[in-house]
Amino acid sequence: MTDLTRRRMLGVAAAGAVTSLSTSAEAAAPPAPTALPNEDDLRSFVALSSVLTGIAALKLAPTVDPIQVKNQYFDAAKADPAFPTLLQMVRSDPDPKNPVAAAIKVMSDPKLKYLGRSIILAWYLGAWYDPNKLATYNEPGDHPFPLDPVKVISGTAYTQGWTWRVAQAHPMGYSELRYGYWADDPLKLDVYIS
């Protein structure tokens, strides 16, 4: 299991911010409206994402959700050629109320595990990383750090990235927190992800 510390999450978020500055203006533009995803596919995607990220499904996709950022993450993942196989694996799970088994199968499959990792990074950082490029990091040799994302999914995806909630921080220039919040002791992580 990855050691998620506040410092590590802020470091990754800062690297993502620097990288996002170098992306094209096209990536910074709001995503073009797309057709709403199939509800069953979206539900399966959120259930799998919940297990992969360790964040409750109702936190990823709340009942009242005016932002609907889950649709943007779904669209980014759907563009990968392996996505139909990933969804089929989740749908074929005998217990759809417990997607842990499907997540284990996905992360054990050499062709799907990097797509799973890209989905995790999308939820936390609001950026899409090429699964094939992620796979090269398991090969021997020196690799550049930080790994540049293919794109920042959207401005909304970036500001809604879970790295900010886990680190109990906010992106530069955007905050949903009240003035002076930094003077209080941080809340337990469970408040944010469970």
Q: Which tens digits make up the pLDDT trace of 51-70?
A: 999 999 999 999 998 999 99
SS3 content of the chain, % helix, strand, coil (to 5): 55, 0, 45
Residues of the chain with pLDDT under 70: 1-35, 94, 96-97, 192
* pLDDT for 24: 40
* pLDDT for 122: 96
Take residue 51 and report the two structure tokens written for it: 């297990």
* pLDDT for 175: 78
* pLDDT for 16: 57
CB 161 within 8 A of CB 124: yes
* pLDDT for 166: 87
pTM: 0.75
Interatomic CA distance for residues 5 and 2, integer angstroms? 9
Domain boundaries, the chain: 6-27+35-193
* pLDDT for 14: 56
Interatomic CA distance for residues 167 and 8, integer angstroms? 9
Q: What are the φ/ψ torsions at residue 30 (nearest 5 degrees)?
A: -60, 145
